[in-house]
């Protein structure tokens, strides 16, 4: 049994976080997310009709193991993000927020300056802030300093399925961080997810690779297993990779 | 300050058209093999030489669209507010010289149309008017936006081009996107089709997306009206316009529409015909050029065409549209701008989309700034 992951006051058995976009139906979304056994599922506030008790997405996410993680997708500034977070806290009764500020609508790359500003303010307002950011080690430390409860650096541009293109920086972030590191965006295959977990990431967030696959339910299970396996390997301490064979005659034997 | 006109004026229509027709099979194959494509590749993909590769283009377009947009389709509905117009446009039912009863919806009438569309499920709305500064100027549009904004999460307009400060005002009051089609990028042909009214000013219209970008609008919709001039050259200039805007106003989203001339009162026959196969080729070529741009399909096209194009690159679609003011509930018999082709109900179109593996998205926006 892998160690549990703790973010703010919540403990998670599953280290696979998922999203709700791009599925071909709400029914299939629900079945896939349940198959993933994910306990933290992000939903774009802009897709939800908060005035409707029977909103199609929300009703399909109603399950005792599922915690909702509203995200601020669509905002372009810190000010808009704070407005969105307040709205989601009121409408969805949660103070958790995935802070996404991507003014660039093409690659949806996060704005580090606005994100830091918004994170600082939201923490003061009592939110559990999970910021989506570039794999920038200094920014991660700055976010930690203002009270972000975790950091969510990207592996590659969102939806690209390219895997851990930012690996060198992710390793520095994981090494330095005092808060959980969740690799978000770019994870396109279970092997990418396992790799992130082996590197010591605390969790991964996967959406497109599950939602757009030919069989989302099977793919969700595959990711679940990959994340568990990668974490188990990390906890069991992976053998170091050796670049060359060890010399058969020790170099320092003359000392004996 | 940056203006597209500066770039546009360095291009020559005839030269571009010739270079598209000169594209070879080898260049098409190269364009297909690439991961990132440029405007030269786009030319190859819309050229006659690409026709034998249509199936491959459609497949690639489908895969790219699915990756970026998922298995979803955004629904929207147009709502015509007025058919008043001071312009003469040779192809349009609302043209000044057409002797038709003119009508502009009152607040009460607008709300009646709103209720009808809300009942159908729509949450993204497109407001349309002609160009008549006295009757449907910026004050009228601003009033309409304020009137309906609590009913729709996403408001787009397709009205006369406005000044930057006017757009800023509308954005402040809840405007999300603006559609402004150049109709044709052929300057002389444009003059012929727009002989009178403010719209006869080609350069002011060409500069409109720049003003919108500077005003900070969330989305700009581009397009050409196919049938006025050669669709290939017009599409090249649309793509050129798109790429310029994306680099200059990088916070704004873009969408492309593909209107083909439809019959209307006082009609005009297309000068250059665009076949169904041409339209499929163009839609796929736009997707292969740009994975992120939204591609929109109206009810101008037929049922069969729409059923099949929804999986090949299109990301937003309307249904059951009325192109006359009050057409949904207030005065269904008033004169329409053009005849729609796909007359199915919203429910039927939704059913069709679901049967094709697409989740219908009604709401994908929330105003976070007021």
Is pLDDT of A63 > 90?
no
Answer yes or no: is pLDDT of A207 > 80. Answer: yes
Q: Tell me which chain A residue has its CA closest to the CA of residue B219.
A: A105
Chain B CB contacts of A87 below 8 Å: 366, 368
CA torsion sign for A100, A105, A109, A114 is negative
Q: Give percent above pLDDT 90 in chain B.
A: 79
User: Taking CA atoms, what residue in B is nearest to A29?
Assistant: B359
Q: Which residues of B touch A213 (CB under 8 A)?
A: none
| CA dist., res. A193 & res. A9, Å (int) | 25
Asked if B71's CB is within 8 angstroms of A212's CB, the reply is yes
- Looking at the partner chain, which of B153, B364, B369 has a beta carbon nearest the beta carbon of A83? B369
Give the pLDDT score at A2.
Answer: 80
- A246 — pLDDT class (breaks 50, 70, 90): low
Spatial separation of the C-alpha atoms in residues A82 and A117, rounded to whole Å: 10
B299-326 residue pLDDT tens: 999 999 999 999 999 999 999 999 999 9
Residue B264 has pLDDT above 70, yes or no: no
Helix (H) or strand (E) holding B256: strand B253-257
In this predicted model, which residue has the larger pLDDT, A41 or A62?
A: A41
Q: Is A214 on the interface with B (CB under 8 A)?
A: no
Interface with B, mutate which of A20, A23, A25, A29 (most B CBs under 10 A): A25
pLDDT of residue A231: 94
Catalytic residues of A: 98
Check whether A244 has a pLDDT greater than 80.
no
User: Residues A104-120: what's their mean pLDDT?
Assistant: 94
| Residue A23, CA distances (Å) to A87, A122, A208, B268 in order | 25, 30, 9, 43
Residue range A203-230: mean pLDDT, rounded: 95
Contact B368 A75 (CB under 8 A): yes
pLDDT in tens, A150-200: 999 999 988 888 999 999 999 999 988 999 999 999 999 999 999 999 999
Tell me, what's the pLDDT at A92?
A: 87
Decide if A70 touches B, using CB distance below 8 A: no
Conformational region of residue B344, where left means phi above 0, alpha means psi within -120 to 50, and beta covers everything else: beta
ipTM, two decimals? 0.71
Report the chain A residue with the minimal C-alpha distance to residue B69.
A22
Min Cα distance A146 → chain B (Å) is 23
Residue A245: per-residue pLDDT: 62
Tell me the pLDDT tens digit for each residue of B10-22. 999 999 999 999 9
| Of residues B71, B250, B365, nearest to A23 (C-beta) | B71
pLDDT value of position A139: 96
**Do B69 and A22 lie within an 8 Å CB cutoff?**
yes
Torsion of CA B196, B198, B201, B205, to 10 degrees: -130
End-to-end CA distance of chain A: 44
What is the reported pLDDT for B2?
Answer: 86
Query: Above 90 in pLDDT, residue A48?
Result: no
Cβ pair B357:A104 closer than 8 A? no
Q: How confident is the model at residue B95 (pLDDT cuts 50, 70, 90)?
A: confident
The per-residue pLDDT for range B37-92, each reduced to its tens digit, is 999 999 999 999 999 999 999 999 999 999 999 999 999 999 999 998 888 888 88
Number of Cβ within 10 Å of residue B9's Cβ equals 12
Give pLDDT tens digits for B247-257. Answer: 999 999 999 99
Most B CBs within 10 A among A50, A60, A106, A215, hence the mutation to make, goes to A106
Q: How far apart are CA A212 and CA A220, in angstroms?
A: 11
pLDDT of residue B287: 97
Question: B358 to chain A: which residues are within 8 Å by CB?
Answer: 24
pLDDT exceeds cutoff 80 at A256: no
User: Average pLDDT for residues B230-250, to the nearest whole number?
Assistant: 96
Q: Do A49 and B368 touch (CB under 8 A)?
A: no
pLDDT of residue B91: 84
**Cβ count near B347 (within 10 Å):** 12
Start-to-end C-alpha separation, chain B: 29
With a cut of 80, say whether residue B370 has pLDDT above it: no
């Amino acid at each position: 049994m892998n160690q549990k992951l703790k973010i703010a006051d919540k403990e998670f058995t599953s280290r696979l976080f998922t999203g709700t976009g791009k599925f071909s139906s709400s029914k299939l979304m629900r079945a896939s997310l349940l198959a993933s056994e994910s306990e933290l599922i992000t939903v774009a506030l802009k897709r939800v009709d908060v005035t409707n008790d029977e909103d199609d997405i929300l009703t399909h996410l109603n399950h005792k193991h599922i915690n909702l993680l509203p995200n601020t997708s669509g905002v372009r500034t810190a000010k808009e993000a704070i407005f969105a977070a307040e709205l989601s806290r009121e409408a969805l009764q949660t103070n958790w927020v995935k802070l996404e500020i991507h003014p660039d609508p093409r690659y949806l790359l996060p704005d580090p300056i606005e994100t830091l500003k918004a994170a600082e303010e939201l923490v003061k307002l009592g939110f559990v802030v999970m910021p989506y950011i570039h794999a920038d080690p200094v920014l991660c430390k700055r976010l930690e300093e203002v009270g972000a409860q975790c950091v969510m650096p990207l592996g590659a541009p969102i939806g690209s399925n390219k895997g851990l293109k930012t690996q060198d920086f992710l390793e520095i972030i994981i090494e330095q961080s005092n808060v959980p590191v969740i690799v978000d965006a770019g994870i396109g295959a279970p092997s990418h997810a396992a790799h992130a977990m082996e590197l010591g990431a605390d969790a991964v967030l996967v959406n497109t690779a599950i939602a757009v696959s030919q069989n989302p339910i099977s793919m969700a299970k595959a990711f679940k297993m990959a994340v568990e396996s990668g974490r188990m390997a990390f906890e069991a301490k992976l053998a170091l990779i050796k670049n060359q064979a060890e010399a058969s005659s020790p170099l320092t034997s003359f000392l004996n | 300050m940056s203006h597209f006109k500066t770039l546009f004026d360095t291009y020559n229509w005839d030269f571009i058209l010739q270079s598209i027709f000169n594209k070879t099979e080898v260049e098409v194959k190269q364009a297909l093999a690439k991961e990132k494509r440029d405007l030269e590749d786009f030319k190859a993909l819309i050229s006659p030489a690409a026709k034998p590769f249509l199936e491959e283009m459609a497949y690639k377009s489908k895969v790219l669209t699915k990756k970026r947009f998922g298995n979803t389709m955004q629904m929207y509905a147009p709502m015509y507010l007025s058919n008043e117009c001071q312009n003469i446009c040779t192809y349009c039912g609302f043209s000044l010289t057409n002797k038709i009863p003119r009508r502009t919806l009152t607040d009460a009438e607008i709300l009646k149309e709103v209720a009808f569309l809300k009942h159908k499920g729509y949450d993204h709305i497109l407001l349309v008017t002609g160009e008549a500064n006295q009757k449907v100027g910026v004050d009228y549009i601003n009033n309409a936006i304020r009137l309906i904004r609590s009913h729709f999460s996403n408001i787009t307009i397709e009205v006369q081009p406005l000044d930057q400060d006017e757009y800023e005002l509308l954005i402040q009051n809840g405007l999300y996107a603006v559609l402004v089609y150049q109709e044709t990028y052929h300057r002389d042909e444009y003059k012929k089709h727009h002989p009178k009214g403010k719209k006869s000013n080609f350069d002011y219209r060409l500069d409109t997306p720049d003003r919108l970008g500077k005003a900070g609008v969330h989305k700009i919709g581009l397009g050409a009206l196919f049938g006025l001039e050669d669709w290939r050259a017009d599409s090249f200039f649309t793509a050129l316009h798109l790429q310029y805007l994306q680099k200059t106003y990088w916070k704004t989203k873009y969408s492309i529409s593909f209107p083909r001339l439809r019959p209307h009162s006082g009609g005009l026959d297309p000068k250059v015909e665009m076949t169904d196969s041409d339209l499929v080729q163009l839609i796929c070529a736009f997707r292969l050029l740009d994975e992120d741009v939204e591609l929109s399909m109206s009810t101008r096209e037929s049922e069969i065409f729409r059923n099949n194009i929804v999986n090949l690159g299109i990301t937003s679609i309307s249904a059951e549209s009325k192109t006359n003011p009050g057409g949904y509930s207030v005065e269904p018999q008033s004169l329409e701008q053009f005849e729609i082709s796909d007359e199915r109900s919203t429910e039927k179109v939704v059913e069709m989309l679901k049967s094709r593996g697409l989740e219908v998205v009604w709401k994908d926006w929330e105003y976070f700034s007021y």
